[in-house]
A and B are shown apart, each in its own frame.
Chain A
């Protein structure tokens, strides 16, 4: 699959990740593809506040385990808003709660190309709200 120079041009992407370096690296990666970063949030509470404050989020990359708390409340809130998301987890896929079995999931450590592929795919599948 070929990825254009700015496949995430103008998209607002929420990042939830408790590891500073990884969050920073993800932010740089997506910014490089034209995305506008929401966050990154290092805790579930911070992520919830961001969702509340942001009327417009196109997609999200969620670390499943954030400082020993599960990210599901964030996922639930995003689902209500029909926002596409990708889980990133240090555990295995089977550890994901069954009600989120349909959410694409990447194992850590992630690979940039693969993450982009998953995120672009769900971006295409999702309805893109008109700005």
Chain B
């Protein structure tokens, strides 16, 4: 519970009956002499001195030991003990003692609050219990053997309570001979009880606060995912939290936390820098913040950022280092993914501008008036925008030929138009560039069909069939796409004298150039047939996935 580093003074001052019972296990003497317990001071001076030492106590049992020594001294007793009340267990526990052997301590280690012993009665009644001679006291009969073995005949038990009246513990003094302490001494003893009570109360509230504070800190650290590392350089020991073992790829308990275990897991390429920077911080008495890679035995690399500081001896030597480490591997990964994404996005935007540029050039070439330019250009941009929507989802929903066709038809056609359309072909996924180029081609074909061809309102007999399939294997594989309109009215002559527009140029010149496609475009009486064959093998330019 106590976070301060161990010092010899404290360990020497704590007697055998520490709460953990370590003294008993080690078999150390039951009642070591305490500094400051001089005999011969006046009782008030003793009380004063005990009170002063109490406020310097390093532990609960240490403080109560001071009170016990002062009490034994006051009453001229031979031995004694202090018990504290454990409300949860409804029991008294010995936390300080003097003059008893291990058997007695074992026997009275924990006394129920219902017990009829002197201390049990004192606790229950909140009254001081004085037994002048245990041999004469009938109520004491169950404990007589223990008393004989311990060698006492008389006992005084003083309960002490909190300000709210809750029992805190019992202070007992024992005498080898039957005796009744003087009334004046017992009055003074009540003062000692008061002092012990306020000490225990303060200690417990401090301890509670410390527990809560530690719990908060632990929870915060757990939630933050931070590793902690406390390295006692002088002693050569380290304390890591579970997260730090995990970060380094160790299982807690299977390795000794320490410099060597840490050094073994630091990436060899980072080790020298880390050590150099740490040493510089230690010399410069600065806090340090640095990041390095952890290389786990399975080859996994983790990135961690550590912040820490050194603590120094009075001579200025670094004797301890405290650091927290943050595993930022995931954050680094997502930053990297974002960087790639932004680069890809920038590339696509540039590419898109190039396509817009090219559409503007072509539209300018194939339109006669400014109005026509604007109308056609905007329609083409809208088609381009639709295909961008499909492409922006391509990680979730791959772009397919059927998808491109539906997208274009849904943008222009009514229910009646759909009656004229037939589509058939396997699912063929298209990569980015091919999807974009093919979408523009489909847009031109569909626009033409709506204005002059099978989908035009006046063309009652019009039918449109779009079919596609893959042919060949390996690098010779090709995508065959056919667009066929039947039942057409004779094509009207264009007023501007241009025999065919961008659509046909795109299919007959652009696709062969851009996708190395072979194309045929035939317009005969009553029928339009457009046949496109695109290299679709692995490694072919613009190759897709099927």
Q: How far is the CB of B293 from chain A (nearest CB, A)?
A: 28
B355 contacts across to A, CB distance below 8 A: 19
Q: How far is the CA of A91 from the CA of B351 in the complex (A)?
A: 8
Q: How far is the CA of A55 from the CA of B350 in the complex (A)?
A: 34
| Interface size bracket, B side | 20 to 34
B509 interface contact, C-beta 8 A: yes
A100 interface contact, C-beta 8 A: no
Q: How far is the CA of A91 from the CA of B361 in the complex (A)?
A: 21
Contact assessment for B350 and A108 in the assembled complex, using a CB-CB cutoff below 8 Å? yes
Given A19-B354, A19-B355, the answer on whether A91 and B541 have CB atoms closer than 8 Å is no
B30 interface contact, C-beta 8 A: no
B346 contacts across to A, CB distance below 8 A: 91-92
Of all chain A residues, the one with the shortest Cβ separation from B356 is A109
Contact assessment for A42 and B354 in the assembled complex, using a CB-CB cutoff below 8 Å? no
Q: How far is the CA of A92 from the CA of B350 in the complex (A)?
A: 9
Of all chain A residues, the one with the shortest Cβ separation from B364 is A25
Contact assessment for B514 and A108 in the assembled complex, using a CB-CB cutoff below 8 Å? no
B361 contacts across to A, CB distance below 8 A: 21-22, 24-25
If over half of B's interface residues share one DSSP class (helix, strand or loop), that class is named, otherwise mixed; here it is helix
B216 interface contact, C-beta 8 A: no
B510 interface contact, C-beta 8 A: yes
Q: How far is the CA of A18 from the CA of B346 in the complex (A)?
A: 19
Q: How far is the CA of A91 from the CA of B346 in the complex (A)?
A: 8
Question: Which residues of B, 375-406, contact A by the 8 Å Cβ criterion?
Answer: none
Q: How far is the CA of A20 from the CA of B509 in the complex (A)?
A: 8
Given A20-B509, A20-B510, A25-B361, the answer on whether A90 and B354 have CB atoms closer than 8 Å is yes
Question: Which residues of A, 6-37, contact B by the 8 Å Cβ criterion?
Answer: 18-25
How many A-B contacts are there with CB distance less than 8 Å?
A: 52
Given A22-B357, A22-B361, the answer on whether A90 and B513 have CB atoms closer than 8 Å is no
A82 interface contact, C-beta 8 A: no
B112 interface contact, C-beta 8 A: no
B362 interface contact, C-beta 8 A: yes
Of all chain A residues, the one with the shortest Cβ separation from B348 is A90
B514 contacts across to A, CB distance below 8 A: 18-20, 42
Contact assessment for A109 and B354 in the assembled complex, using a CB-CB cutoff below 8 Å? yes
Q: How far is the CA of A43 from the CA of B514 in the complex (A)?
A: 9
Contact assessment for B542 and A108 in the assembled complex, using a CB-CB cutoff below 8 Å? no
Contact assessment for A109 and B359 in the assembled complex, using a CB-CB cutoff below 8 Å? no
A109 contacts across to B, CB distance below 8 A: 353-354, 356-357
B347 interface contact, C-beta 8 A: yes
| Interface size bracket, A side | 10 to 19
Of all chain A residues, the one with the shortest Cβ separation from B357 is A109
Contact assessment for B354 and A43 in the assembled complex, using a CB-CB cutoff below 8 Å? no
Task: Give the residue of B347, B353, B358, B541 whose beta carbon is less than 8 angstroms from that of A20.
Answer: B358
Task: Give the residue of B358, B509, B516, B541 whose beta carbon is less than 8 angstroms from that of A19.
Answer: B358
If over half of A's interface residues share one DSSP class (helix, strand or loop), that class is named, otherwise mixed; here it is loop
Contact assessment for A91 and B347 in the assembled complex, using a CB-CB cutoff below 8 Å? yes
Contact assessment for B353 and A108 in the assembled complex, using a CB-CB cutoff below 8 Å? yes
Interface string of B337-377 (1 = CB under 8 A from A): 00000000011001101111111011000000000000000
Of all chain A residues, the one with the shortest Cβ separation from B541 is A67
Of all chain A residues, the one with the shortest Cβ separation from B431 is A68
Of all chain A residues, the one with the shortest Cβ separation from B510 is A20
Given A20-B510, A20-B513, A67-B542, the answer on whether A90 and B347 have CB atoms closer than 8 Å is yes
Q: How far is the CB of A30 from chain B (nearest CB, A)?
A: 14
Question: Which residues of B, 306-355, contact A by the 8 Å Cβ criterion?
Answer: 346-347, 350-351, 353-355
B541 contacts across to A, CB distance below 8 A: 43, 67-68
Interface string of A32-58 (1 = CB under 8 A from B): 000000000011000000000000000
A25 contacts across to B, CB distance below 8 A: 358, 361
Q: How far is the CA of A22 from the CA of B510 in the complex (A)?
A: 10
Given A42-B513, A43-B541, A67-B542, the answer on whether A21 and B350 have CB atoms closer than 8 Å is no
B362 contacts across to A, CB distance below 8 A: 21
Q: How far is the CA of A21 from the CA of B346 in the complex (A)?
A: 22
Q: How far is the CB of A107 from chain B (nearest CB, A)?
A: 8
B350 contacts across to A, CB distance below 8 A: 90-91, 108
Question: Which residues of B, 502-518, contact A by the 8 Å Cβ criterion?
Answer: 509-510, 513-514, 516
A42 contacts across to B, CB distance below 8 A: 513-514, 516
B516 contacts across to A, CB distance below 8 A: 42-43
Q: How far is the CB of A61 from chain B (nearest CB, A)?
A: 14
Contact assessment for B358 and A22 in the assembled complex, using a CB-CB cutoff below 8 Å? yes
Q: How far is the CB of A36 from chain B (nearest CB, A)?
A: 20
Of all chain A residues, the one with the shortest Cβ separation from B363 is A21
B513 contacts across to A, CB distance below 8 A: 20, 23, 42
Of all chain B residues, the one with the shortest Cβ separation from A29 is B361
Question: Which residues of A, 50-98, contact B by the 8 Å Cβ criterion?
Answer: 67-68, 90-92
Q: How far is the CB of B132 from chain A (nearest CB, A)?
A: 100
Q: How far is the CB of B506 from chain A (nearest CB, A)?
A: 8
Contact assessment for B510 and A21 in the assembled complex, using a CB-CB cutoff below 8 Å? yes
Q: How far is the CA of A25 from the CA of B513 in the complex (A)?
A: 14
A67 contacts across to B, CB distance below 8 A: 433, 541-542
Of all chain B residues, the one with the shortest Cβ separation from A66 is B541
Q: How far is the CB of B508 from chain A (nearest CB, A)?
A: 11
Q: How far is the CA of A90 from the CA of B355 in the complex (A)?
A: 11
Of all chain B residues, the one with the shortest Cβ separation from A110 is B357
Q: How far is the CA of A19 from the CA of B355 in the complex (A)?
A: 8
Additional A-B contact list (5), CB under 8 Å, known A19-B514, A22-B354? A19-B358, A21-B362, A90-B354, A91-B346, A109-B354
